[in-house]
Chain A
């Protein structure tokens, strides 16, 4: 790891000032460090300054009440996984948190870090491969090893977004709060992520330099709402999603009143499936309807050479998630 200046700000304003000072160089915010340190260990990130957000008080709250759940960016995944209120009312979020990596990583990893983590594509993670994500001219996955790549929203980069929490929070209609030198802005979490074709291909989010994720706000689900997160991994333990689905439904006498579905592991961003949601509305949720919604969710899929398997896999996950919520 390259050496850096390690700074412990006492407030968020000081943290932002330290990261944006004219002499800051390449400054990075450190939360749980479970992604940033892997990048630093492998020389993918070589910051001049590391600004420690753990020294800023008040960024790690988990607060349910007043019709919403507020989770500070520094709340750890192990707390999201175990917090009784989250398990009871925002099940998709606690299930997603429990599915992340290993117990060791969940002890440290934070909400903000999970939402901002960098791609796990092998080409991106190999220091020597100067791929599109690292300022190169080519996405090596496109014509190379693409078993794990995107089947939706791909091009000119075919990474998949690795976050488990992001699809769950999009399905739960969360809002993200960002703070920078220019003040605070709030946006739907869905709008936080950018497709490679729509923005700077070297980034996955709209986060500006010197800007910090401070919290996520999730509305209280209405009566009768249920949510779940289903993740498929190549092995039972400690892996990123080959495909995942987060679904949040309001059912009334078996009939779908509202539906939000978001896919993970299949696109460069958490992939909302509005056609699937529309297919469900106003109809009785049974096996046939779940199948129809799953087909709608994957209708636009465009697999590469090695990842067509993700289509039936993801369809099955969507069906299973919907039927689990109907029970």
Chain B
């Protein structure tokens, strides 16, 4: 048994676990934080994704001992951290996932939302390609990903104060010209914001 002092979602938590336990095991079976999912347990599925000092990392391939001294964010911390930073209600990524129906079974969702949060912290105005790349380590077997990408785009559009490009299900119900115009406005707002931030990927790492 090895004593552990971990900083999780802003709290310092003390516990103990065998040296070979992973961060995922300690989060779930010592600290009761079961939001981080145990899927493949070998780095394939991304369901255990947490943020370590702001970067997405696989809790199943991280020894708990190596997480000491680093700031760990799990899905349980996303809303409290957003509120503590002056926000209102859930993290915008969580709200967007909710409104876009970006889940079915929900198993991949905590990891997806943390990967998305890490992306938006580094690159607040990502393109669809950058979103796909940032979420490429998170498998979803239900949704086919479309609503997930749309949810991240919705969070981005809302942060810019514009309507997002019409989502696939909305587009079918709109006049083509109207849908194109809304998509064009969303793309122009994104391009202008990227210009202002001088930032694409790697602008902040």
The chain A residues found within 8 Å of chain B, CB to CB, are 1-6, 30, 33-34, 37-38, 40-42, 50, 52, 54, 78-79, 81-82, 101-105, 107-108, 236-238
Tell yes or no: B66 within 8 A of A by CB: yes
Tell yes or no: B147 within 8 A of A by CB: no
Known A4-B20, A50-B63, A52-B66; 7 more pairs at CB < 8 Å? A34-B43, A37-B62, A101-B137, A103-B115, A104-B49, A104-B137, A236-B136
Which B35-51 residues have C-beta < 8 A from chain A?
A: 41-43, 46, 49
Instruction: A37 to B57: give the CA distance in the assembly, Å.
Output: 13
Residues of B within 8 A of A238 (CB): 136-137
Tell yes or no: B134 within 8 A of A by CB: yes
Closest to A107 in B: B55
Tell yes or no: B93 within 8 A of A by CB: no
Residues of B within 8 A of A81 (CB): 202
- SS class, residues of chain B in contact with chain A: mixed
Instruction: A238 to B56: give the CA distance in the assembly, Å.
Output: 15
With A102-B136, A108-B58 known to touch, is A38 a contact of B49 (CB < 8 Å)? no
Tell yes or no: B172 within 8 A of A by CB: no
Shortest CB distance A76–B (Å) = 9
Identify which of A6, A34, A102, A104 gathers the most chain B CB atoms within 10 Å of its CB. A104
Task: Tell me if A33 and B63 are in contact (CB < 8 A).
Answer: yes
Task: Tell me if A107 and B56 are in contact (CB < 8 A).
Answer: yes
Which B131-176 residues have C-beta < 8 A from chain A?
A: 132-134, 136-138
Query: What is the size, in residues, of chain B's interface with A at 8 Å between Cβ atoms?
Result: 31
Contact with A along B5-23 (1 / 0, CB 8 A): 0000000000000111010
With A1-B20, A3-B18, A6-B19 known to touch, is A107 a contact of B66 (CB < 8 Å)? no
With A3-B18, A42-B42, A107-B52 known to touch, is A30 a contact of B136 (CB < 8 Å)? no
Q: Which of B55, B65, B132, B134 contacts A6 (CB 8 A)?
A: B65
With A3-B18, A38-B43 known to touch, is A105 a contact of B137 (CB < 8 Å)? yes
Shortest CB distance B125–A (Å) = 18
Instruction: A54 to B118: give the CA distance in the assembly, Å.
Output: 23
Residues of A within 8 A of B22 (CB): 1, 37
Instruction: A6 to B18: give the CA distance in the assembly, Å.
Output: 10
Residues of A within 8 A of B137 (CB): 101-105, 237-238
Shortest CB distance B173–A (Å) = 30
Task: Tell me if A78 and B49 are in contact (CB < 8 A).
Answer: no
Shortest CB distance A233–B (Å) = 11
17 CB contacts below 8 A, A to B, read A1-B20, A4-B19, A37-B63, A38-B42, A42-B42, A50-B19, A52-B65, A79-B205, A101-B43, A104-B46, A104-B56, A104-B57, A104-B115, A107-B55, A108-B61, A236-B132, A238-B137
Shortest CB distance A18–B (Å) = 14
